[in-house]
């Protein structure tokens, strides 16, 4: 049986930069033991040192996982569940925006594959460990872009009609529908699941790592954006607030935010859940 300290434990996906790193730092300051889930070892190690420096805490670990690979997610979940007795907060923060159609290792359209399906599988594989917490929290970062989103069941991986808005908004709507259905399935447990709109945050999201495309535009707009720490505030609040009683909702600036009719559609949420189970092989 794994051993664990008396500290609460949090797992943050996409923790190597932007809101993920800011979330890590804030959780460390609140005395959580934080596991930083990152895809790239070099960038992850740099972020780990930065998190320690900014928080002046060292109860933080780096674990590697590629959310674009079902096999990598399963291997990670197995390692995590063997190592930790319980998980108090899972922050599904990692996200990608691609202007050209990309695919994951398993052939999923990149944004749907990583932003939704990767987190869907990860959450399900860690669920029993989260349920061992006296007050488990699952926070999934969505976006206001969900309001123009639609789940394209006829072509979910956008093989025929891809564009960035169509793909990104679909993945962000999926984040909320996932939370809605997850909340239904968690009824009677100690776990609360909510989604969050972080606002317009200055991060590297949308900047191509390969070509650098988007850097100039991002630099020009940066003064008008929230900082990563400001964007992370509501996610940290939902993960840690001791008096939180709300579950299954969509938050912005620590308050429940109205969301689209599609995002509130229970039948659509259930349909997406069953489709997602088949896609990831649960």
Q: What is the pLDDT of residue 227?
A: 76
Q: In the predicted model, what is the mean pLDDT of residues 104-116?
A: 97
- Banded pLDDT at 194 (limits 50, 70, 90): very high
Write down how long the chain is: 282
Catalytic residue, chosen from 32, 168, 250, 252, is 168
Helix (H, G, I), strand (E, B) or coil at 7: coil
Q: What is the pLDDT of residue 199?
A: 67
Residue bearing the bigger pLDDT, 243 or 153: 153
- List, in order of start, the domains of the chain with CATH numbers: 9-280 (3.40.50.720)
Residue range 201-220, pLDDT digits in tens: 444 444 344 444 444 444 44
Task: List, in sequence order, the alpha helices (H) in the chain.
Answer: 18-29, 41-55, 70-83, 110-111, 119-131, 164-185, 215-221, 228-240, 266-280
150 C-beta neighbours (distance < 10 Å), count:
13
pTM beyond cutoff 0.85: yes
Q: Across the chain, what does the average pLDDT equal?
A: 90
CA–CA distance, 30 with 55 (Å, rounded to integer): 10
Residue with tokens 């979910």: 156
Helix (H, G, I), strand (E, B) or coil at 11: strand
Q: In the predicted model, what is the mean pLDDT of residues 100-128?
A: 97
168 noted as active-site residue? yes
Encoded tokens for 38: 């990152």
Q: Which of 134, 77, 29, 9 is nearest to 280 (CA)?
A: 77
- Banded pLDDT at 247 (limits 50, 70, 90): very high
CA–CA distance, 206 with 248 (Å, rounded to integer): 28
Encoded tokens for 120: 């869907």
């Amino acid at each position: 049986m794994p051993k664990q300290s008396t500290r609460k434990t949090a797992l943050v996906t996409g923790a190597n930069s932007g809101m993920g790193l800011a979330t890590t730092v804030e959780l460390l300051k609140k005395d959580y033991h934080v596991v930083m889930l990152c895809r790239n070892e070099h960038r992850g190690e740099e972020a780990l040192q930065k998190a320690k420096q900014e928080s002046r805490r060292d109860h933080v670990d780096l674990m590697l996982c590629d959310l674009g690979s079902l096999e990598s997610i399963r291997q990670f979940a197995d390692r995590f569940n063997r190592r930790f007795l319980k998980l108090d907060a899972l922050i599904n923060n990692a996200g990608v925006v691609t202007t050209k159609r990309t695919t994951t290792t398993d052939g999923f359209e990149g944004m749907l594959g990583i932003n939704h399906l990767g987190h869907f599988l990860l959450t399900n594989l860690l669920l029993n460990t989260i349920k061992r917490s006296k007050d488990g929290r699952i926070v999934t970062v969505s976006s206001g872009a969900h309001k123009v989103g639609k789940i394209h069941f006829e072509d979910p991986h956008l093989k025929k009609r891809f564009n960035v808005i169509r793909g990104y908004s679909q993945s962000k709507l999926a984040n909320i529908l996932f939370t809605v259905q997850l909340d239904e399935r968690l009824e009677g447990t100690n776990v609360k699941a909510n989604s969050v709109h972080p606002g317009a945050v200055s991060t590297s999201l949308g900047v191509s790592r390969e070509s650098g495309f988007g850097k100039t535009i991002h630099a020009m707009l940066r003064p008008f954006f929230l900082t990563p720490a400001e964007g992370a505030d509501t996610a940290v609040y939902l993960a840690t607030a001791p008096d939180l009683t709300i579950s299954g909702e969509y938050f912005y600036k620590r308050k429940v935010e109205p969301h689209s009719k599609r995002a509130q559609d229970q039948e659509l949420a259930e349909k997406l859940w069953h489709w997602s189970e088949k896609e990831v092989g649960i």
